[in-house]
Amino acid sequence: MKRVVENVTCPFCGVVCDDLEITVENAEITEAKRGCVLGRYTFLRHNDDRATMRVNGEPATLDICIEEAVDILDRADFPLLYGLASTECNAQRKAVEIADLIGATIDTTSSVCHSPTLQAIQHMGDSTCTVGEIKNRSKLLIFWGCNPAESHPRHFSRYSVTPTGMFVPEGRKGRYVVNVDVRKTPSARAADLFIQVEPGADYEVLTVLRALVNGRPVDVGEVGGVKVEVLRELAQRMKSVKFGSLFWGMGLTMSRGRHMNIFAMLALARDLNQYTKFTASPMRGHGNVVGAATVMTFSTGYPFAVNLSRGYPQYSPGEFSSVDVLARGEADAALILAADAVGNFPGRASEYLKKIPLIAIDPKESMTTRAARVVIPTAIAGIQAGGTVYRMDGIPLPLTQILESQYPSDLDVLSRIAAGIRRRRGLPETVAAHADAENSPRASV
C-alpha cells in the first residue's frame, strides 16, 4: 500500500523545513521529496545504525532498562542530564522534570556550540526576525563564520539567498551576499564578496567595522588580514540598504573571543539600526536545539548549564556546563538524551563519562551508547513520534508521526523513569498530584 504524507517537518537541522513530501510504501519510506541530501538521508536511512536495548551489554527488556535507569539516577549524589537538542519539546520538558526531581545538573548541546550566543544575547538583546521576513525583505545577507551550503543546505534556497520575496521580486539578482570566514568554503561560491579573516581576529574586524559604521576615525590600513577599504565599502553598503541581515555560526562562537565575538556582532546590528533595518541571527545546528534552550528557559529561567541540587535553579556556565562538570570528575552518573556526548566531548570529559554509570536514550548507536551501562533505543522524533520543534528563528512547528515504531518515544521512556523515581521516593505519581499534595491543607499543617 502506498501513501503520501504532505507538509512534513524535517527534524534534522535548524532550518526545520516544513514542506517535505514523504512517500510510504509497505510501511517503508521510499521518497522524501524536497529534502536536501541531509534531510533525505534522515528519512530514507532512518533504520540505519539502530541501537539495541541492553543493560551492561546484555539484551534486556524495556522494563529492566527502565528499572536500572531509575536505580542509577535515584542513587546518584551529583547526576548529570545532557543532550536534548535532537528530540522534541515534550521529551525535553520531561527531562527537566527528572532533573528537578533528583537535583541534577542539566545541560544541552548548546553548551558546546552556541552557548556564547546565548550568553551574549542575555547581555545585549538581539535585533532579530523570522526567516520569512528575511526571505521577503532582506537585500544584503552577511554570513560570518558559518557554512550553510553544507551545514544548512536549504537555508539559501528557502529563506535567504535565492528565493523571491514580497519586496525582493528579483530573487537572487535583488540580493547582495557576503561571506566572511577564515577559509573559502562552498558557501563562498554563493557569495558576491568573500572576505578572508585571519583565524582568531573576528572580534577586531567586527570592532573596526562598527567604528566605520559609526563614522569613527580608523587610522590603520588593515585589520585581521582584511583591508580597511574593503570594510569601509561594506559599512557603506550596510548603511544604505533598506533591510539587511547578519548570520553567524560556530566559526565565531567556538574561536578566540567566543561570546565577545557575538557581543560585537549584536552591537553591530544595534548600531546599524540607527541608519536602517538590520537583523542578526545565529545559524543554529541541531533540529530542535532552539527548542531545548526555549524549554530550559521557560522551565528553569536559564537556557543551559543549570544545576537543581539546591531545590532551585542555579545557572553557571563554566561551572555547571557538562564538559566542566565531567572534566572535574564531579558527576557520579549521567543520562544522555538524544546526543553523542562521548563522541563529541573533549578527551578528559569523554573519558570520565565512560567511567561512571551511564544511561543513553537514543534511537541510534553511537560512541555514547557503546559506553553506556543502560541503552534505551527510542522512536525517532519526526518520523516515528510526533511533537513540537523550534526552528532556528524561534518559531515552533509540529512534527508528524509518519510510521509506527516498535520502540517507545523519548517522552514515554522519560515519563516511566520519572514515575519510577517518584515511586522509589514515595512521591505522588505526577507533578500535578505532587503540587496538589503540597498545596493541600494536610501538607500545610
Segment near ligand SF4 (CB under 6 A), from 14-22, 178-186, 248-256, 308-316? 14-22
- Reported as type and span, the H/E element at residue 237 is helix 228-240
Residues 6+ apart with CB under 8 A from 186: 147, 149, 150
Shortest distance, position 30 Cβ to ligand SF4, whole Å: 17
Residues 6+ apart with CB under 8 A from 219: none
Does the protein bind ligand SF4 through residue 36 (CB under 6 A)? yes
Q: Which is nearer to ligand SF4, 16 or 375 (CB)?
A: 16
Segment near ligand SF4 (CB under 6 A), from 9-17, 50-58, 125-133, 300-308? 9-17
Applying CB under 6 A, which of residues 22, 29, 35, 324 lies at the interface with ligand SF4? 35
Q: Which is nearer to ligand SF4, 8 or 235 (CB)?
A: 8
Alpha carbons 434 and 25: distance in angstroms, whole number: 45
What residue has cell string 533525505?
40
Does the protein bind ligand SF4 through residue 326 (CB under 6 A)? no
Shortest distance, position 181 Cβ to ligand SF4, whole Å: 20
Cα dihedral 76→82→87→91 (10° resolution): 40
Shortest distance, position 152 Cβ to ligand SF4, whole Å: 5
Q: Which is nearer to ligand SF4, 103 or 398 (CB)?
A: 398
Does the protein bind ligand SF4 through residue 335 (CB under 6 A)? no
Does the protein bind ligand SF4 through residue 10 (CB under 6 A)? yes
DSSP three-state, residue 349:
helix
Shortest distance, position 288 Cβ to ligand SF4, whole Å: 11
Residues 96-155 that bind ligand SF4 (CB under 6 A): 152-154
Does the protein bind ligand SF4 through residue 46 (CB under 6 A)? no
Beta bridge partners of 315: 306
Kindly state the cell numbers that stand for 179.
Answer: 561571506
Beta bridge partners of 58: 55
Q: Measuring CA to CA, how many Å separate 236 from each of 113, 265, 418? A: 32, 17, 56
For helices 259-272 and 115-124, give the axis angle rounded to 10 degrees: 40
Segment near ligand SF4 (CB under 6 A), from 5-13, 185-193, 332-340, 371-379? 5-13
Shortest distance, position 329 Cβ to ligand SF4, whole Å: 37
Alpha carbons 161 and 180: distance in angstroms, whole number: 15
Applying CB under 6 A, which of residues 12, 248, 263, 390 lies at the interface with ligand SF4? 12
Site size toward ligand SF4, by CB under 6 A = 13
Backbone phi, psi, residue 6, to 5°? -100, 165
Does the protein bind ligand SF4 through residue 13 (CB under 6 A)? yes
Residue 209 is classified by DSSP as: H
Beta bridge partners of 247: 143, 281
Q: Which is nearer to ligand SF4, 148 or 317 (CB)?
A: 148
| DSSP H helical ranges for 30-126 | 37-44, 62-75, 89-102, 115-124
Does the protein bind ligand SF4 through residue 285 (CB under 6 A)? no
Nearest Cα to Cα of residue 392 among 132, 178, 48, 68: 132
- Reported as type and span, the H/E element at residue 350 is helix 347-355
Shortest distance, position 380 Cβ to ligand SF4, whole Å: 13
Indicate the residue whose CB is closest to ligand SF4: 39
Segment near ligand SF4 (CB under 6 A), from 6-14, 53-61, 117-125, 331-339? 6-14
Shortest distance, position 429 Cβ to ligand SF4, whole Å: 37
In this structure, the number of other CB atoms found within 10 A of the CB of residue 164 comes to 13
Strands 306-307 and 314-315, by their bridges, are antiparallel
Site mask for ligand SF4 (CB under 6 A), range 175-214, x = bound: ----------------------------------------
Q: Which is nearer to ligand SF4, 12 or 352 (CB)?
A: 12
CB 21 within 8 A of CB 400: no
Residues 369-388 that bind ligand SF4 (CB under 6 A): none
Q: Which amino acid is at 191?
A: A
Applying CB under 6 A, which of residues 22, 29, 39, 76 lies at the interface with ligand SF4? 39
Given the rule CB under 6 A, which residues bind ligand SF4?
10, 12-13, 15-17, 35-36, 38-39, 152-154
